[in-house]
Amino acid sequence: MNKGILFLIPCSISDAPAAAQLSPRVLHELPSINSFLVEDVRTARRFLSSLKVFPSIENLRFDVLDKDTKAVEVESLLSPLLQGRSIGVISESGCPGVADPGALAVKYAHRMNVKVVPLVGPSSILLALMASGLNGQQFAFHGYLPIGPEIQRAIRESEKESLAKKQTQIFIETPYRNNQVFIHLTKTLKESTMLCVAIDITGSNEQIRTQRVGEWRQQKTEWPKLPAVFLILAE
Amino acid sequence: MNKGILFLIPCSISDAPAAAQLSPRVLHELPSINSFLVEDVRTARRFLSSLKVFPSIENLRFDVLDKDTKAVEVESLLSPLLQGRSIGVISESGCPGVADPGALAVKYAHRMNVKVVPLVGPSSILLALMASGLNGQQFAFHGYLPIGPEIQRAIRESEKESLAKKQTQIFIETPYRNNQVFIHLTKTLKESTMLCVAIDITGSNEQIRTQRVGEWRQQKTEWPKLPAVFLILAE
């Protein structure tokens, strides 16, 4: 029997209608899938419902794959693949497998010799890098900056690494900490370091701005509480 | 006067029809742009022509922005933005600003206080990371591995860094060197290190496979001469 396929299905990263930001192939493949691994069932149902490709989402199966899912559970969640049924992985925001728990499912799919197909959609990390004008030939993504007094040391180390490797350093932040992290970055980084702040990418409040830390310091900036990506390049 | 917008326009990364891999917003924004900065005029014309959004591509303006373009030239290429005319940046493959010279245009756009809008489309680096099942919470992109005797040292250093930081290390390769680089990787890396090879992503010969180096060594593998991404995670 042919095995099913593990499809990696991107979803919207902003208030913009999802269908405008997803590649048409997503809508083309979805009708062949009726089982989904999702971070949050409610938002995944709402997302699929908004795409209007299923006559009803009541017949779809949703299982939770989040940061608390154990490896042994993942194996059993993926077992329908061995019976020829395809499964879709959907993240809370953007591309499954990037800055989310989806990679665990993919890892087991490879172990089971199951085909993995990534579909094209929005990634705030990649879009921020594109729009930053910083080095796109060498870059590193670090997730979140540490909370607490650790943050300044982490910023300084990241700046040092950026300078040594000419490597763009990328961080994400949860909306309510944007201003706090921005203040830490502008206080701690060197004047000559380039800093890009990318807020609400693809959304109605999208703002992407790159300038030297010295220039940021001369302005009073207040960021909205929306998803943000911070990128630095030391020069 | 309102300034124009610098749009970052992704294009196809395989033989698949471009329109199936681009977000619909690309097709929606394109008709408002009649001036493009491109790596290669011939392929950019062919790409835009295939999308069938312009009545004729004869009236479009194309200027070359490639690795040999000087900073001072970029400033003059972008000057139409100050007269309110939008410009599109198109890479040879995938997303402008990532592993290509497009970042130079973006950098100047920020300096000119021009709005930069990244559009959603395929990136072989991001799709390979999604489909690798390797760590998507921490990753670094390094471009090409060095040619010649340097390559083994570079692979070993990258493996060491991956282990120390739990960081997925990502490289791209030009098609004709795939097999050579694959042999170097499987010979040089430790048995326990995870290696993902992602070939022709989104294309008709797409192959994405992750396993331990020890497992790769037990198979005879011959890769087609198609675009490839290599990802490693030391464990």
Q: A133-162 pLDDT, tens per residue? A: 999 999 999 999 998 889 999 999 999 999
Hey, how many other C-beta atoms are within 10 angstroms of the C-beta on B191?
11
User: How many CB atoms lie under 10 A from the CB of residue A127?
Assistant: 31
Q: Give the tens place of pLDDT for each residue, B183-230.
A: 999 999 999 999 999 999 999 999 999 999 999 999 999 999 999 999
Concatenate the DSSP letters of all residues of chain A into one string.
Answer: ----EEEEE-B-SSSS-GGGTS-HHHHHHGGG--EEEES-HHHHHHHHHHHT-SS-STT-EEEE--TT--HHHHHHHTGGGGGT--EEEE-SSB-TTSSSTTHHHHHHHHHTT-EEEEPP---HHHHHHHHH-S-SSSEEEEEEPPSSTHHHHHHHHHHHHHHHHT-EEEEEE-GGGHHHHHHHHHHHS-TTSEEEEEESTTSTT-EEEEEEHHHHHTS-----SS-EEEEEE--
CA distance B133 to chain A (A): 4
How does residue A189 score in pLDDT terms, banded at 50, 70 and 90?
Answer: very high
Of the candidates B28, B121, B129, the beta carbon closest to that of A120 is on B121
The token pair at A139 is 């870059």
Q: A20 and chain B: CB distance < 8 Å anywhere? A: yes
Interface touch A98/B206, C-beta < 8 Å: no
Q: Is B91 on the interface with A (CB under 8 A)?
A: no
Q: Is a pLDDT exceeding 90 seen at residue B115?
A: yes
Residue A28, chain B, CB below 8 Å: the answer is: yes
Q: Tell which A residues from 159 to 188 touch B, by Cβ distance under 8 Å.
A: 167
Spatial distance between the Cα atoms of A129 and B204, rounded to a whole number of angstroms: 28
Residue A71 has what pLDDT? Answer: 87
- Percent of chain A whose predicted confidence (pLDDT) is above 70: 100
Q: What band does A100 get if pLDDT is binned at 50, 70 and 90?
A: confident
CA distance A44 to chain B (A): 18
pLDDT mean over B79-87: 96
As for the ipTM of the complex, it is: 0.97
Most A CBs within 10 A among B7, B93, B127, hence the mutation to make, goes to B127
* Residue B94: DSSP 8-state: B
- Each residue of A6-21: pLDDT tens digit? 999 999 999 999 999 9
Mean pLDDT score, A68-89: 94
Nearest to B24 among A20, A95, A134 (CB): A20
Residue A98 in contact with partner chain B when CB distance is under 8 A: yes
Residue B101 touches partner A, C-beta closer than 8 Å: no
With an 8 Å Cβ cutoff, is B81 touching chain A? Answer: no
Please report the pLDDT score of residue B116 as a whole number. Answer: 98
C-alpha–C-alpha distance, residues B163 and B169, integer Å: 10
- Kindly give, in sequence order, each residue whose CB lies less than 8 Å from that of residue B59, ignoring residues fewer than 6 positions away: B34
